């Protein structure tokens, strides 16, 4: 006897993914809308306290996004683990280690710029993924989800690198995360950040190459309709 549709494993998987993507879409849409309204209401002054206004929701969304690594690992989300791992850890390190730990960095304009870039990418990506799991596809949305990252992702990495650069004096002054180890050894965290800064651009090259290959494969098979001359 056939199982009811709602008991089928694929139905439950798609339902879970749809809810997950919907939650992420709502979170990032709220952040982007809040930032837009605040900018038109308060002007440039709203950029300084961006983190104080929406930092909690941003941290929540980025923390939940770590579930995507589990999704890929168990096979319920078709994606490559390592490129996604690089993208997620990149954001987690910048958001939680660089920005959250230093109040002086939280007031920098680069935080507002980063949040705009991250939310633009995620709103489109989660909309596309949410509709895909229920079998709905639009040519323009598919093209946008596979193209928007091309100019914005490198800008994200540049903004992240600039955030690290601006944070270095504060890590040097306050000694945050720097620690002494046994046998006269020590960890000087600004050096760790400088090493990570170089790794950030290496990771960008790898991730960009992967995303470009993925874009080429998806747009090649997607049935875009061509207008007849």
Distances (CA, A) of 97 to 19, 163, 167, 186: 29, 11, 10, 19
Q: What sign does the dihedral 188-175-163-85 (CA atoms) show?
A: positive
Q: Which single residue is written with the structure tokens 């914005």? A: 152
Catalytic-role residue among 109, 153, 170, 188: 153
Cβ partners under 8 Å of residue 200, min gap 6: 90, 157, 160, 161, 164
Catalytic-role residue among 68, 77, 90, 160: 160
Q: Which single residue is written with the structure tokens 């929406």? A: 54
β-strand partners of 185: 181
Q: How would you class 221 by CB atoms within 10 Å of its CB: exposed for 0-12, middle for 13-18, buried for 19 or more?
A: exposed
For 177, left (φ over 0), alpha (ψ -120 to 50), or beta?
left
Catalytic residue check, 153: yes
Any idea which residues carry the catalytic annotation?
153, 160
């Amino acid at each position: 006897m056939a199982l009811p549709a709602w008991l089928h494993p694929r139905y439950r998987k798609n339902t879970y993914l749809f809810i997950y993507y919907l939650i992420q879409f709502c979170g990032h849409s709220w952040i982007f809308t809040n930032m837009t309204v605040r900018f038109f209401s308060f002007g440039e002054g709203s950029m300084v306290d961006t983190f104080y206004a929406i930092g909690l929701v941003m941290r929540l969304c980025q923390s939940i996004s770590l579930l995507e690594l589990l999704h890929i690992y168990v096979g319920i989300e078709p994606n490559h683990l390592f490129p996604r791992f690089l993208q997620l850890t990149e954001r987690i390190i910048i958001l939680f280690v660089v920005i959250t730990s230093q109040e002086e960095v939280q007031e920098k304009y680069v935080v507002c710029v980063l949040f705009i870039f991250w939310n633009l990418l995620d709103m489109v990506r989660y909309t596309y993924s949410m509709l895909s799991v229920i079998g709905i596809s639009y040519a323009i949305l598919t093209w946008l989800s596979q193209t928007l990252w091309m100019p914005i992702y490198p800008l994200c990495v540049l903004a992240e690198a600039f955030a690290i650069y601006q944070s270095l004096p504060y890590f040097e002054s306050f000694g945050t995360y720097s620690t002494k180890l046994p046998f006269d050894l020590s960890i000087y965290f600004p050096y760790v950040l400088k090493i990570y800064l170089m790794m950030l651009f290496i990771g960008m090259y790898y991730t960009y190459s992967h995303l470009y290959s993925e874009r080429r494969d998806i747009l090649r098979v997607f049935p875009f309709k061509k207008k007849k001359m």
